[in-house]
Amino acid sequence: MSEVTTRIVVNGIPRELAVPAEELLLDTLRERLGLTGAKRSCDVQVCGTCTVLVDGEPVSSCTFLTCDADDRDVLTIEGFSESAEFAEFERAFTGRAALQCGFCTPGFVLTLKALRDAGELRSREDVIDGLDGNLCRCTGYKAIVEAAEALVGASGGPEVGR
Residue 16 CA, distance from chain mean position: 23
Residue among 25 and 77 whose Cβ is closer to another protein: 77
71 or 73, CB closer to another protein? 73
The 13-20 sheet, strands edge to edge: 13-20, 3-10, 72-75, 51-54, 57-60
18 and 4 Cβ atoms separated by less than 8 Å: yes
Of the candidate residues 14, 16, 44, 155, the single one contacting another protein (CB under 8 A): 44
Q: How far apart are CA 136 and CA 133, in angstroms?
A: 10
Q: Is 156 in the site for another protein (CB under 8 A)?
A: no
The smaller minimum CB distance to another protein, of residues 69 and 144, is found at 144
Q: How many CA atoms lie within 13 A of 8 on its CB side?
A: 24
Contacts with another protein by CB under 8 A lie at 20, 27, 30-31, 36-44, 46-47, 49, 76-78, 81, 89-90, 93-95, 97, 99-106, 109, 128-129, 131-132, 134-145, 158, 160-162
